[in-house]
Amino acid sequence: GQNIDQPTEMTATEGAIVQINCTYQTSGFNGLFWYQQHAGEAPTFLSYNVLDGLEEKGRFSSFLSRSKGYSYLLLKELQMKDSASYLCALLDSNYQLIWGAGTKLIIKP
């Protein structure tokens, strides 16, 4: 079966850097997504990784290690507006999206 784990909640300081980890177990893999979801709003796409390595997109970067079943989302120069839930989602061999429960990120001044 498939399983996705990510921390329930994290706290960081404005201007700092935070890394949100996601570990997964799956028999087949077609990529891993990160989405951002502000409270009461819809999830919005952040990144998609299918090959090992780091993908950088502005202040946000996403890393994947397929052999370790591990990904992280790195947020730099944190802003108050980054307070949100960050959802890790795995695309399995049947192209089904399996979602993690999300990590609630709290930014403090």
Partner 1 sequence: DTAVSQTPKYLVTQMGNDKSIKCEQNLGHDTMYWYKQDSKKFLKIMFSYNNKELIINETVPNRFSPKSPDKAHLNLHINSLELGDSAVYFCASSQGDGQPHTGELFFGEGSRLTVL
Q: Which is nearer to partner 1, 30 or 61 (CB)?
A: 30
Determine contact, residues 10/4, Cβ cutoff 8 Å. Answer: no
Q: Residue 73's CB: how many other CB atoms inside 10 A?
A: 25
Q: Which two tokens stand for residue 37?
A: 């979801």
In the bound state with partner 1, the residue whose beta carbon lies nearer, of 6 and 15, is 6
Count other Cβ atoms within 10 Å, centred on residue 79: 11
Interface positions, 53-92, toward partner 1 (CB under 8 A) = 85, 87, 89, 91
Q: Which residues are bridge partners to 21 per DSSP?
A: 72
Tell the smallest beta-carbon distance from residue 37 to partner 1 (Å).
Answer: 8
Phi, psi of 83 (to 5 degrees): -60, 115
22, 24, 102, 105: residue in contact with partner 1 (rule CB under 8 A): 102
Site for partner 1 in 34-53 (CB under 8 A): 35, 40-45, 48
- Does the footprint of partner 1 cover residue 106 (CB under 8 A)? no
